[in-house]
Structure 1
Amino acid sequence: MNRRGFLASTALLPSAFVQASQQITHVDTIQTGSPLKSSVVKLEGLPAVGDSPGAKARVHFNGPTLQLAALASGVVTLEPGSRPHPPHRHPEEELVIVTAGTGEIVVDGVTTQVGPGDMMYSEANVLHGITNTGSTLMTFYFTKILAKNA
């Protein structure tokens, strides 16, 4: 099953019936290749990924480490009213830190209003999602972590 099909099949009703061809902005963790090395990645020049209208992701790090099967980290901007994808679940644990704007995050069926400085943690395979419900650009940083043998 491809990522879009997976997202559509794991979302809350009525989102579960979203067609698999829906545009999404999502970062899949990379588990192959050389381990990430200690470094600094500048935001300037990082390409935007994803095709969900109003949602752009820029990935700073993505790959295995010496201790983890995968680590992905970056920044996402959401225009008012947008979300990167419907609520979803995945095998990685995830942290989200809101740095600008306001919105709502749903975690395991609980919706919380969020703003700058608020943080989300989602265990592996727990349904979660984020939406910009404010009137300005929302920015959040994410880190997805997949343990070896997970």
Structure 2
Amino acid sequence: METMNRRDLCAAMAAFAFLGCGFSEAQSAVASEDSALAQSKVFRFSDLPVKQNENGGWGRQVMQGTLPTGEFVEVHETMLPPGKMPHPPHKHRNTEFVLIRQGKLEFLNEGKPEPVGVGDVIYTASNRMHGLTNVGDSPALYFVVSVSHGQA
């Protein structure tokens, strides 16, 4: 059996590293092609089921899945009755964008309340305490777009 010198060992290690990269990229390509979001598509609003929430509101799951670029994305619509919160203030690792479609809301941003209304967009950074309350006299409607690395 021949012994390997340092030059041979370095060349072999580089070759293994190169092969590892190739296998990793091939697995990512296969995973992204298998993803529900690998192809462009339309999510028909009329086809999306509505789920009743405990607070008297409702939610509509639009989509969720992993993008070909690796981010996990989840989109839903919520109807929040007057005076209600979807849940207590909280924080999580995913980032959220909240697009206000109807109503008057109060966004609790790290303990500081901020008024938001129709057409406003809330950005919630990862791991920041936040909450939402409908402070209006009518139901509020908004979409949430949640983005994270890996499933949230």
Under a length normalisation based on structure 2, what TM-score does the superposition of the two structures give? 0.70
Structure 1 residue 105 corresponds to structure 2 residue 107: yes
Correspondence for 1:4: none
The structure number with the bigger radius of gyration is 2
Is 1:81 the counterpart of 2:83? The answer is yes
| Corresponding residue of 1:122 | 124
**Identity in percent:** 30
Residues 45/144 of structure 1: CA separation in 2 closer, same or farther (3 Å cut): same
Aligned residues: 118
Where does structure 1 lack aligned partners over 5 or more consecutive residues?
Answer: 1-32
Q: Distance in 2 between matches of 1:105 and 1:74?
A: 18
The answer on whether the counterparts of 1:68 and 1:145 sit within 8 Å (CA) in structure 2 is no
Amino acid at match of 1:131: T
Which residue number in structure 2 is paired with residue 68 of structure 1?
A: 70
- CA distance in 2 between partners of 1:94 and 1:78 (Å): 17
Deviates more, 1:98-107 or 1:50-59: 50-59
**Is 2:35–2:68's contact at 8 Å kept on the other side of the alignment?**
no
Deviations 1:19-60 (A, max 9, x none): xxxxxxxxxxxxxx7241311112113122363222311111
1:87-117: CA deviation from partner (whole Å, max 9, x where unpaired): 1111110000111111201111221111101
CA distance in structure 2 between the partners assigned to 1:117 and 1:57 by the alignment? 19
Displaced runs of 4 or more, over 6 A: none
Structure 2 equivalent of residue 90 of structure 1 = 92
Q: What TM-score do you get using the length of structure 1 for normalisation?
A: 0.71
* 2:142 aligns with one of 140, 143, 147: 140
3-state secondary structure, aligned to 1:90: coil
Report what 1:34 is aligned to.
Answer: 35
1:87 partner SS = coil
Counterparts of 2:144 and 2:138, CA distance in 1: 19
Q: Say which structure is richer in helix.
A: 2
Displacement after TM superposition at 1:69 (Å): 3.4
Structure 2 unaligned spans of 5+: 1-33
Alignment equivalent of 2:49, drawn from 47, 65, 68: 47
The aligned residue for residue 60 of structure 2 is: 58
